[in-house]
Structure 1
Amino acid sequence: MSSNQNPVSVPLVSEPMGILASLAAARRNILSIIPNIAVTQPMVSGRTGKRWHMVMDPASIRRMLLENLENYPKSLVTKNLLKPAIGDSLFIAEGAHWRWQRRAAAPAFTHRNMLNLAPFMTAAAERSSERIAQAHPQPVDVAQDMVRATFDVISDVTFSGDGSFDGDAVHRGIDAYIAEAGKISLFDILGFPDWMPRPGRMFSGQSLKQMKHIADDAVDARRNRGPKDVPDLLDLLLEGEDSETKRRMNTAELRDNLLTFIVAGHETTALTLAWSLYLCGFDQDVQDRARAEAQSVLQGRAAEGADVENLPFIRMIADEALRLYPPAGMISRTAMAADTLCGREVRKGDTVIIPIYALHRNQVLWEDADAFRPDRFADRRAIERYAYLPFGGGPRICIGASFALQEAVIILATLLSRFRFTSVPGAEPKPVMILTLRPEGGVWLKAEPV
């Protein structure tokens, strides 16, 4: 690999686009509407039907996500897309309704509880390892395998092998929903009011109904049965209460939050793993170093929760994959009142976008921004807090971040200790974001047992 060659990236636009061109581009890949100058500037503004701003300046992002949080609620577009699937759960709720749910759910995600859930991750890593070994000598689509592995984990940690839970049906429902919901509607870009029906959103009623029904049954069955010896995520959420109001989640609230964790939890970690493996196939030197670390710690067994702190370089690879290919590559907010960001006027009603993909590749903030260099994360304190947002930031930072990173390190270390991954010529993945930043065409790698 020559040093001037970088891993795959999204071609950004050099000319401003009109509404129809923006819409066509957004339907194919929402990141392709980001102007090229976003990777060299702190802020870019324009108008496409509505006034919009893209913000890549860490201090202004801090203002949006922390200091002036109430002024920048999630955009209506985001809420309209996701509400049918996940209701008013943590991901969408605002204000007091968000705060009490967050307080009730937070104890489930303590470090101790995460370690208790690690055996599910180790088991999934073993099963993935077996599937990959069976495929040899044929190339394997690791993106697809990682979706399977992380879905195994999330259904095991939420329903710990309850026979009552039909994971495949939920998985199909989620996939059908994401495929449709992700297609940004022209109405949204034009800023039409919310009450106008959106074509293509009316569909998916059936798979959603079935998915919610399955989850409701599972929650009710658990309420009647009580917790297991080692509580899983559902047990922990059932026991969770808001420390201030003593409120607990009812079945519908629990279901919506569980579906949020299932939707958000498995796909984003699967993507982190798929891109990490792609990058290891791309740079064999990094892969050799990671394998040496994993083999010396694991000695042939699969990784466990207690190993994670002893696998710092594997963690750096996951961090760098999240920088280059953040699963949520763009977040948008609606300004509730006038504000100033980067010395520029933001008016009430303006759409304010944080294009995390461009932020993570901004040349002012990152040296050699498009290159794959895990060592950037050797000293995390050196990284500006709001320059790196794979899990968002401020009080709304992803509640499952430690869960996702623990899972990614366990699976990645297990696989790298057992296989050498090499890329398949002519089968480069294409980074495309509809709702999440996926490798279109899959990540095809040859996996040679070591």
Structure 2
Amino acid sequence: MHPDTLPVHVPLVREPWGILKSLNAARQNVLSIIPEIATRQPMVSGKTGKRWHMVMDPDAIKHILLEALDDYPKSDVTKNLLRPAIGESLFIAEGAHWRWQRRAAAPVFSHRNVMNLAPIMTHAAEAASARVAAAGPRAVNMAEEMVRATFDVISDVTFSGDGGFDRDAVHGAIDAYIAEAGKISLFDILGFPDWVPRPGRMVSGAALREMKKVADDAIDARRDGSGDGVPDLLDLLLEGEDPKTKRRMDTGELRDNLLTFIVAGHETTALTLAWSLYLCAFDQVVQDRARAEAHTVLGDRAATGDDVARLPLVRQIVDEALRMYPPAGIISRTAQKHDVLCGREVRPGDTIMIPIYALHRNHLLWDAPDTFRPERFADPKAIDRYAYLPFGDGPRICIGASFALQESVIILATLLARHRFTPVPGKDPRPVMILTLRPEGGVWLEAEPVAAPAAPSGRAQGAPVT
């Protein structure tokens, strides 16, 4: 790393754009429409077809996501993009329909259940490390490798033991849908009703039908059979019941939520890992420190769920990657009532955006925000809760956050313990957001095998260091 260089970032807008220029830019990279001033102000407002406000003030964000939750439902743009794929699942549903689903699904992601699924993550980490080693000294696209690793995890924890589950079909259907549905439509920005056809979204119907059929078949087969061993996500959802209403999910509701967990549960974690590896390759000093930590805790074995709490620097790298490259770079809401945010009037129908990418790089909230400094997360209590939102916050905080963090630390620690990653000159990724913030062009790194030091005599591999 050169001291005068920074990790890759998105060039933000420095002058006002009209609606057509904004639309064209958004189709290429949604983050490119964020004004640079959003990294230096608590709130920015404008009008592009309809009134909008970008909010970076932690107190105002707390009001939107927690105190006035029902007054700021998810925006119509968000719902229009995702409803065809995941229906009225937890991610989209509002009000009472969302609340009962959240109560029924919450136990699925309890600490105990997430820890019970850790061996699947360890197995995926082992497999990913073996694939990287087998690739030899040539450059490897670690973004693709991480997508494969995290899809292995989510499919195993969702459909364990279901030999009839066509992983490739579901993965292909998800990618096909995201590729088309993620293209922002001018009709969405202008607020046209749902029944007006969206050109970029019409072609994904076949992929969606196939994806839903695979999930429905798996659910029906599981209802007719009995699960063996540790309950997986599908078992836990089938058993899930709203403690207040005693309502359980029907097949359609189960399917929509399963597809939500599959989509959100593998791509976002894969992106977190890909960006984490890019940053480690960018800063070899941090990588060496993280490797030393992993060697101390792991020796020559893969990381497990029990190791996560003993890998603080690896966790800090993950946290910093989520700050610099949040998978959901923007979240949006639609105001239902008159309100005041940061002293500014908000009217019903206004689009309220929380540009998490700009929030995480706001100079009022972060010291040297474009710099890679994992140590800033050494004391999480020192960070304003509503200045750091990789998983959102409030009642609608991502239900799978602990699952994703555990998986990320297990896989990253295992890879760093066994390989030294270095950048490939001229192959820097470009941060581009369509639905999620992806490294366009991939994360191409060279991976050199690293042998773990011998464990000190008298201490078993992986035993706590005192």
- The TM-score bracket by the shorter chain reads over 0.9
- C-alpha displacement at 1:250, in angstroms? 0.8
C-alpha separation between the residues in 1 aligned to 2:363 and 2:425?
30
1:99 maps to a residue whose letter is R
C-alpha separation between the residues in 1 aligned to 2:370 and 2:36?
13
- C-alpha displacement at 1:3, in angstroms? 2.5
C-alpha separation between the residues in 2 aligned to 1:378 and 1:161?
40
C-alpha separation between the residues in 2 aligned to 1:262 and 1:440?
22
- C-alpha displacement at 1:138, in angstroms? 0.6
Classify the secondary structure of the residue corresponding to 2:112. helix
Is this contact kept in 2: 1:421–1:446, CA < 8 A? yes
- C-alpha displacement at 1:227, in angstroms? 2.4
Deviations 1:151-187 (CA, angstroms, capped at 9, x unpaired): 0000000011310211110000000000001100011
C-alpha separation between the residues in 2 aligned to 1:71 and 1:445?
45
1:192 maps to a residue whose letter is F
C-alpha separation between the residues in 1 aligned to 2:333 and 2:197?
21
Classify the secondary structure of the residue corresponding to 1:202. helix
Instruction: Name 2:415's counterpart in structure 1.
Output: 415
2:339 maps to a residue whose letter is D
Instruction: Name 1:248's counterpart in structure 2.
Output: 248
1:172 maps to a residue whose letter is G
C-alpha separation between the residues in 2 aligned to 1:195 and 1:346?
28
- C-alpha displacement at 1:136, in angstroms? 1.5
Instruction: Name 2:5's counterpart in structure 1.
Output: 5
C-alpha separation between the residues in 2 aligned to 1:173 and 1:195?
23
Matches of residues 81-120 of structure 1 in structure 2 within 5 Å?
Answer: 81-120=81-120
Q: CA RMSD in A?
A: 0.7
Deviations 1:225-262 (CA, angstroms, capped at 9, x unpaired): 12222111111111110010011111111110000000
Classify the secondary structure of the residue corresponding to 1:47. strand
Instruction: Name 1:31's counterpart in structure 2.
Output: 31
1:403 maps to a residue whose letter is F
C-alpha separation between the residues in 2 aligned to 1:377 and 1:226?
44
Matches of residues 71-220 of structure 1 in structure 2 within 5 Å?
Answer: 71-220=71-220
Matches of residues 380-419 of structure 1 in structure 2 within 5 Å?
Answer: 380-419=380-419
Instruction: Name 2:359's counterpart in structure 1.
Output: 359
- C-alpha displacement at 1:32, in angstroms? 0.1
Classify the secondary structure of the residue corresponding to 2:445. strand
Instruction: Name 2:283's counterpart in structure 1.
Output: 283
C-alpha separation between the residues in 1 aligned to 2:384 and 2:276?
22
Deviations 1:327-358 (CA, angstroms, capped at 9, x unpaired): 00001111111110001000111111000000
- C-alpha displacement at 1:192, in angstroms? 2.4
Classify the secondary structure of the residue corresponding to 1:97. helix
Q: Which stretch of structure 1 is more off in the superposition, 219-228 or 391-400?
A: 219-228
Matches of residues 45-64 of structure 1 in structure 2 within 5 Å?
Answer: 45-64=45-64
C-alpha separation between the residues in 2 aligned to 1:146 and 1:88?
29
- C-alpha displacement at 1:224, in angstroms? 1.1
Matches of residues 228-267 of structure 1 in structure 2 within 5 Å?
Answer: 228-267=228-267
- C-alpha displacement at 1:201, in angstroms? 1.4
2:262 maps to a residue whose letter is I
C-alpha separation between the residues in 1 aligned to 2:75 and 2:135?
44
Deviations 1:343-391 (CA, angstroms, capped at 9, x unpaired): 1000111111000000000000000000000001000000001000000
Is this contact kept in 2: 1:431–1:438, CA < 8 A? yes
1:28 maps to a residue whose letter is Q
- C-alpha displacement at 1:191, in angstroms? 2.3
C-alpha separation between the residues in 2 aligned to 1:57 and 1:352?
13
Instruction: Name 1:330's counterpart in structure 2.
Output: 330
Is this contact kept in 2: 1:316–1:377, CA < 8 A? yes
- C-alpha displacement at 1:2, in angstroms? 2.7
1:50 maps to a residue whose letter is K
Instruction: Name 1:310's counterpart in structure 2.
Output: 310
Is this contact kept in 2: 1:281–1:421, CA < 8 A? yes
What TM-score, normalized to structure 1? Answer: 0.99
Classify the secondary structure of the residue corresponding to 2:200. coil
C-alpha separation between the residues in 1 aligned to 2:2 and 2:123?
37
Is this contact kept in 2: 1:428–1:443, CA < 8 A? yes
C-alpha separation between the residues in 1 aligned to 2:27 and 2:261?
26
C-alpha separation between the residues in 2 aligned to 1:406 and 1:431?
24
Classify the secondary structure of the residue corresponding to 2:447. strand
What TM-score, normalized to structure 2? Answer: 0.96
C-alpha separation between the residues in 2 aligned to 1:226 and 1:66?
40
C-alpha separation between the residues in 1 aligned to 2:277 and 2:234?
31
- C-alpha displacement at 1:190, in angstroms? 2.0
C-alpha separation between the residues in 1 aligned to 2:79 and 2:190?
16
1:84 maps to a residue whose letter is P
Is this contact kept in 2: 1:155–1:161, CA < 8 A? no
C-alpha separation between the residues in 2 aligned to 1:200 and 1:330?
21
C-alpha separation between the residues in 2 aligned to 1:337 and 1:421?
51
Deviations 1:385-406 (CA, angstroms, capped at 9, x unpaired): 1000000010000000000000
Is this contact kept in 2: 1:291–1:416, CA < 8 A? yes
Is this contact kept in 2: 1:391–1:397, CA < 8 A? yes
- C-alpha displacement at 1:409, in angstroms? 0.2
Classify the secondary structure of the residue corresponding to 2:203. coil
C-alpha separation between the residues in 1 aligned to 2:208 and 2:405?
29
Classify the secondary structure of the residue corresponding to 1:431. strand
1:41 maps to a residue whose letter is Q
C-alpha separation between the residues in 2 aligned to 1:41 and 1:400?
31
C-alpha separation between the residues in 1 aligned to 2:227 and 2:104?
17
Instruction: Name 1:435's counterpart in structure 2.
Output: 435
Q: Which stretch of structure 1 is more off in the superposition, 400-409 or 4-13?
A: 4-13
2:48 maps to a residue whose letter is T
Instruction: Name 2:461's counterpart in structure 1.
Output: none
Structure 2 unpaired stretches of 5+: 451-466
* Identity, % of aligned positions: 76
Deviations 1:38-69 (CA, angstroms, capped at 9, x unpaired): 00000000011111000000000000000001
Is this contact kept in 2: 1:320–1:373, CA < 8 A? yes
2:37 maps to a residue whose letter is I
1:421 maps to a residue whose letter is F
